[in-house]
Structure 1
Amino acid sequence: MIPENETDEEYVTRVRLRPIHGRLALCRNEPSLMPYEHLLYGRYQRFEGRLEEIEKNHGTLQAFAESYKEYGLHPKPDGAPGDVRYVEYAPGAKRLSLMGDFNGWKAWEFEGERDEFGKWTLDVPAAAGLKHGSQVRVVMESHDGRQFDRVPAWIQRIVQCCDEESGETRCYHNGVYHDPPEGERHEWRHEKPRVRPASLRIYEAHVGMSSEETRCGTYREFADDVLPRVKELGYNCVQLMAVADHAYYASFGYQVTNFFAAAHRSGGPEDLKYLVDKCHGMGMQCFMDVVHAHASDNAIDGLNEFDGTGGHLFHEDPWMGWHGLWGTRMFDFGKYETLRFLLSNIRYWSEEFKFDGFRFDGVTAMLYKHRGIHWDFIGGHAEFYGDHADNDACVYLMLANQMLRDDPKFGPAAVTIAEDVSGQTGVCRPVWHGGLGFDLRLSMGPPDHWARLAHEPDFNWSPSRVVGLVTGRNPEPAVSYLESHDQCLVGDKTFAFTLMDAAMYGCMSKSRPEGVHPAVERGVALHKMARLLQLTLGGEAWLNFMGNEFGHPEWVDFPREGNGESFQHARRQWSLRDNDDLFYADLERFDGALMRSDEDCKLLASNRGGFTPTVHHCRDDSGVLAFHVGTNCLVVANLHPHESYPFYRIGSERAGRYELVLDTDAKQFGGWGRIDPEVTKPETEGGPCDWQGTGVCLYLPSRSAQIYRLVDEWDVPEVDQYVYHNDNDLGYAGGYDDEYDTGGGGDDAVWY
């Protein structure tokens, strides 16, 4: 029984739930998994065994994950003021010492002592001068006599090295001892949210490329300049990419070298805390894009060959220890110290920086021993479990999710998102059900299909194809998106640029003497329609990559040798959206209206619990589709490039009067304004239509979509039988005049 003074969420975080009678709810609810229940239950037992081992050694999983308070460089417990203790795991080292600018980089002045497990400990007295801001490296000697130096694995800040005489930067980094005095520490002003929003609207951002100038943006600039605009648009969560430090900037943050250090190019740790704190002050959650599937192969700045061996925290077997396509090191999640390192990393960012949730990158590469390379995952459950599965990695993910859920204060608000392309069943099911414990998974298929469709002519934009690509996703809770950072990396383009291409360079003005460019008219209309349909049909949460809300042109390409170290495509051109004469401003206004429509009409929230909208009207001949979603809302889209319908009958499950909530064709959104919201108050009439209780006649402008909400409701007419759609329902049967232009452009319309 749940105590009366506890909520369900508080009880679940206090009392860990387990399978009943050794049977997994995941398999009971999904009969097709029954042949694999022994494998899934074996995976769960491995999780229980590892958890019991951790709790036996450390008391709780949380205590184990607080190893970041011991490992690395910290003020010495019970030591004199200024004394520093350094703890490191390096089983392959024969000798280990700490050096830095505080001792003139003398290699063996402060040597450590090793225990039986490979854990090294050394103390540096205050008199040595090791203080906040000192640059350090750890020097080791291997058993074969080699000497080498590395950046400490648990370091909390790094800095790029410079030549002391010339000031020129070098290609490697040093660790920095971070222990700021009280006056320099960030003072937290706002608490982490304790509850999740009804629906997540996520703004994916890269702080480094958030400046319009050709340089790295900073945490404080992002907090002061970008966050207010994000809040104004209606997003309730910011997801930060490239937070953990990475020596190679062009890796987009996905080749991490220093897992406990905030990306140094955008500021220091206290600056990042300022950003997260300000996000909470605006009532938004802040997520971190965490990369635990792999690590950079950089041995000078990162973890590769850290203690002189090919193992350490990674697989020693080259087939398992390296990713065949990325060239990165793969963690061995079966090692106790690897679990300590990565679980502590999650705990560190959650506790010290107060991140509310995590997007786990590259989950597919973790779930399978083959890393998902050259696998299309069309063979069913047999490809997900058994010999292909990396069960140690699955156990790590289960432990990470369990640890976040077990937080009695913030556990109910914590959110975890899996980037998995395999579609494995159970990724978003609770751990005690036999799942991995994630809340959401990225719906990664539809964006790629949208990207292909954007290259195709209008006659391929049929309602049946659009509905198929949007709804063709895994049934588990998903983050829906039209495009993330993946779709606009070098080699591809943003969705808007694919639609409009070169016309975006000189034809985005609404006051062109020649009139609106046909490609721009088409692209702006389809950009809005695609976003509306993907949000309302595609999942339980929404994600937008920074700048794409206003149709940012071109692509993303970070400074690298191949482009002359240019920042030209590693920035955001915010000034485009601030010019009301350009269509960019209209696209951003539409995005804000779409976010507010979700808040008011519960569009995303209505998709939870498996209640996916059903498209009850889908006709390729007319180009029209319609479905119910949200709180008594009806979404209608006319994909036809030039044919508008003045009196088109659509099925409605409820009878009453509708009001127009959102119109992609509104003038303030860069449309033609063919529907007047002040006079458009359609009412249902007649008997059944589209297998719904009644029908409503609407004006459907070409290349536009609308959201209507029922504001007055009355009883559905009683009838004896259902009726099918016929041409009379469309308003153009019989004596339809081919010369009649219904507002869609007629012969002047562009047909690509």
Structure 2
Amino acid sequence: MLCNPGPRALPRSGGPVCSGDRKRTTEIMRGHCKRLTNEPASLWQDHYLAVEFRQEMEKRSRFCAEWQGKFLHGKDLLEFANWHEFFGLHRITGEDWCFREWLPQAVSVALIGEFSAWQWDQRYELQPAAEGCWCGYFPPDAFRHGQQYQLKVHWPGGEGWRLPSCATRTVRARNAVGGLVFNAQVWEPEAYHWQHDYSGTDAPLLIYEAHIGMAQAEERVGTFREFKDKILPRIAETGYTCLQLMAIAQHPYYASFGYQVANFYAPCDLFGTPEELKELIDAAHGLGLRVVMDLVHSHAVRNELEGLANLCGDRTQFFHPGPRGEHPAWGSCCFQYGKPEVARFLLSNCRYWLEEYRLDGFRFDGVTSMLYLDHGLGRVFSSYQDYFGPNCDWEAWNYLAMANELVRQCRKHACTIAEEVSGMPGLGAQAQEGGCGFTYRLAMGIADYWFILLDRPEQDWPIRKLWFELNNRRQDERTVSYVECHDQAMVGGQTFLFRCLGERVYNAMHRGCDDPAVLRGLALHKMARLATLACAGHGYMTFMGNEFGHPEWIDFPREGNNWSYQHARRRWDLADDQGLAYHCLWRFEQQMLKLCRRQPDFFSCRPQLLKCHDQDQVLVFERASLLFAFNFHPRNSYPDYACPCPPGSFRLSLDSDAEQFAGLARLEPEQTCFTRTVPVAGALETQIRLYLPSQTALVLRKID
């Protein structure tokens, strides 16, 4: 969820520049330079941050250490994160049942469900215990697998039907008058037997962002099993290495895209059962894919009957009191991260998903909203002063730091990805440096910049500025780049291909179409993706369907569109039709990712600029023994373009203009180009001469 469409991260002093240092460029051309490492630098190498704000960051670190001590009381972090093991419905020794819930304001509580004919039954009453807990013990035959139930809670001045805070299975049902309700469900199936575990930690991070419900071509909600059978093979065949699953936790309103979570421990029942989700993850691991989940801990749905908003008559049980507890833009409830029970609930939620479903990490949604008391709304982050001071929520920072540490303790190979738009320094740094500990940060500004460029003629694109934007990241953290994720295509927005082609996506996408506007749009779509991958810090991402240029926006069924599923699906038939250019775009994505995967050190080194020319609209750079050459000019082709280059022989490995990619086939496939040494400005320079057709990108591999 995009919480603030503000500016990108501030560049670290000494970060990438577009023009390049002449001495270093000469060294590159002569082949004498060492490859620039892409390993994150120390946070304190940012001199300005170290001098001006070190005291503030050290103060924050002391705050975190103090609060973690209060939370843990000497316990291990994994031992503290056991909410799901203590609360909820569990079998205990001797096969009896135990149910516990944290209801500090309650005066009487009972489990009511199919086992009690939906009537209050003294046999299912809970008894008060210590620290606001309520507990009940029941014989082995008290519950059966699949039975639905709720909590009936009485508190001073009120009562209500509620769901357990850590129910691991909740389902939609109809009540006696036909209304839609959510019930918890007794869930005790046969244990799932895992067949695979993720073992591809050395693979480059190539993320496929997907939504289970809208992954089918039909106008309906898709399922876990359909995704496993039909979509997973597509993802693996294309070349992605990581599946990012959206909207997994139970949410009452399908059109919320899964961002209004009610039941944090339960998979969404619209998609299938918990075991079917495990089957999907297991199958993904079998294909060599790591699986990460969108984790929404930035807020919770305000629904009382389905969620946590008023579990026992106190809206501040999990959330801040007053206006601070209400998100002004999302209409949801904001967690009180400084409350030990809330931190335990959320940390346990991380542990539960990792252990029960063998996930390989999380994408934390809405991190900017968590880090600032004003949620970063309507603010421009223009200086380091914006990242420190009374507007920062240190309690949220402390929770995120604990969550990152817990994830790594729980599954050592697991990763965490921050969706954070303000550019908060230290987000990806380790705790010992005062950092928050995220493995990656999404480079959200790159997508914004591509869409900005489409508003101006290509001959006016500032290529030096483009190079800067593609490489503008802090050197103390790892980043993931993308041209478009789900945010860009939400209703009111457009996919990148639609911005390039407009209405032509409907009637001019047959192969062989010679409409110049279509050829332009297809070329830019390919070039943008390749440039973004080639300059990506440490990973690349796309949203489901964009790998073949999905033409239309996303709009979930709602009253405003007459509950239509027309735009809540994916048109796989377009990618499968070999007579359409959509199929060519998919083929290009496949070959682009293959090129990256064949270079095991691709993300281990940084791209190095060789030539950047605004007037010619040419960009040339080197990375991991691959030479990338882009000509963005809409009309000018350059038949013998001289580019500085490390010495050697280079073979054409990828040509965006190839016929198989819906191009004009102006280059001979797999040709070999050789460098030569020429005098330039009184010195010898190694150059390569290339034919650069208009609006074409080339990748050449060094072969000696």
TM-score, normalised relative to structure 2: 0.91
Q: Could you tell me which of 321, 326, 332 is aligned with 1:322?
A: 326
Pair 430,650 (structure 1): closer, same or farther in 2 beyond 3 Å: same
- For structure 1, the residue ranges without an aligned partner over 5 or more in a row are 1-23, 713-752
- Please say if 1:65 is aligned against 2:66: no
Report if aligned partners of 2:649, 2:672 keep a CA contact under 8 Å in 1: no
Give the 5 Å matches for 1:138-537. 138-144=151-157, 146-163=158-175, 170-180=179-189, 182=190, 185-193=191-199, 196-316=201-321, 318-378=322-382, 380-407=383-410, 410-411=411-412, 413-475=413-475, 476-511=477-512, 515-537=513-535
Q: Secondary structure at the match of 1:93?
A: coil
CA distance in 1, matches of 2:484, 2:133: 45
| Higher Rg | 1
The residue type equivalent to 2:492 in the other structure is G
Report if aligned partners of 1:539, 1:604 keep a CA contact under 8 Å in 2: no
User: Bigger CA drift: 516-525 or 472-481?
Assistant: 472-481
Q: Could you tell me which of 606, 615, 619 is aligned with 2:613?
A: 619
Partner of 2:20: none
CA RMSD of aligned residues (A): 2.0
The residue type equivalent to 1:481 in the other structure is Y
Pair 656,211 (structure 1): closer, same or farther in 2 beyond 3 Å: same
Report if aligned partners of 1:418, 1:441 keep a CA contact under 8 Å in 2: yes
Q: Could you tell me which of 73, 90, 110 is aligned with 1:74?
A: 90
CA distance in 1, matches of 2:685, 2:407: 46
Pair 689,174 (structure 1): closer, same or farther in 2 beyond 3 Å: farther
CA distance in 1, matches of 2:452, 2:311: 43
Tell me the CA shift for residue 127 of structure 1: 4.2
Once the two structures are superposed, residues 656-704 of structure 1 have per-residue CA deviations (whole angstroms, 9 ceiling, x without a partner) of 1111111111111111111112434343342459999411100000000
- Name the count of aligned residue pairs: 662
CA distance in 2, matches of 1:163, 1:367: 40
Partner of 1:123: 137
- Please say if 1:92 is aligned against 2:105: yes
CA distance in 2, matches of 1:48, 1:689: 58
CA distance in 2, matches of 1:606, 1:688: 32
Once the two structures are superposed, residues 219-238 of structure 1 have per-residue CA deviations (whole angstroms, 9 ceiling, x without a partner) of 11111111111111111110
Tell me the CA shift for residue 33 of structure 1: 3.5
Partner of 1:686: 678
Report if aligned partners of 2:459, 2:617 keep a CA contact under 8 Å in 1: no
Tell me the CA shift for residue 518 of structure 1: 2.5
| Structure with bigger RCO (C-alpha 8 Å, 6+ apart) | 2
Report if aligned partners of 2:678, 2:685 keep a CA contact under 8 Å in 1: no
Tell me the CA shift for residue 42 of structure 1: 2.4
Report if aligned partners of 1:102, 1:134 keep a CA contact under 8 Å in 2: yes
Partner of 2:587: 589
| Aligned-residue identity in percent | 39
The residue type equivalent to 1:100 in the other structure is G
Tell me the CA shift for residue 163 of structure 1: 4.6
Q: Secondary structure at the match of 1:425?
A: coil
CA distance in 2, matches of 1:259, 1:26: 34
Tell me the CA shift for residue 406 of structure 1: 2.3
Report if aligned partners of 2:653, 2:670 keep a CA contact under 8 Å in 1: no
The residue type equivalent to 2:610 in the other structure is H
Report if aligned partners of 2:212, 2:271 keep a CA contact under 8 Å in 1: yes
TM-score, normalised relative to structure 1: 0.85
Q: Secondary structure at the match of 2:209?
A: strand
The residue type equivalent to 1:113 in the other structure is Q
CA distance in 1, matches of 2:558, 2:237: 34
Q: Secondary structure at the match of 1:683?
A: strand
Tell me the CA shift for residue 425 of structure 1: 0.7
Pair 688,191 (structure 1): closer, same or farther in 2 beyond 3 Å: farther
- Please say if 1:667 is aligned against 2:659: yes
Q: Could you tell me which of 540, 543, 546 is aligned with 1:542?
A: 540
Tell me the CA shift for residue 114 of structure 1: 2.2
CA distance in 1, matches of 2:327, 2:474: 26
Tell me the CA shift for residue 32 of structure 1: 2.4
Pair 439,124 (structure 1): closer, same or farther in 2 beyond 3 Å: same
CA distance in 2, matches of 1:624, 1:684: 20
The residue type equivalent to 2:479 in the other structure is A
The residue type equivalent to 1:343 in the other structure is L
Once the two structures are superposed, residues 552-597 of structure 1 have per-residue CA deviations (whole angstroms, 9 ceiling, x without a partner) of 0110011111111111000011010110110000000000001011
Q: Secondary structure at the match of 1:330?
A: coil
The residue type equivalent to 2:350 in the other structure is I
Pair 69,37 (structure 1): closer, same or farther in 2 beyond 3 Å: same
The residue type equivalent to 1:487 in the other structure is Q
User: Bigger CA drift: 226-235 or 59-68?
Assistant: 59-68
Pair 692,480 (structure 1): closer, same or farther in 2 beyond 3 Å: farther
CA distance in 2, matches of 1:453, 1:491: 19
CA distance in 1, matches of 2:455, 2:681: 35
Pair 688,206 (structure 1): closer, same or farther in 2 beyond 3 Å: farther
- After TM superposition, what 4+ stretches of structure 1 lie above 6 angstroms from structure 2? 689-692
Once the two structures are superposed, residues 490-547 of structure 1 have per-residue CA deviations (whole angstroms, 9 ceiling, x without a partner) of 0001100111110011111125xxx422222111100000001111113210001000
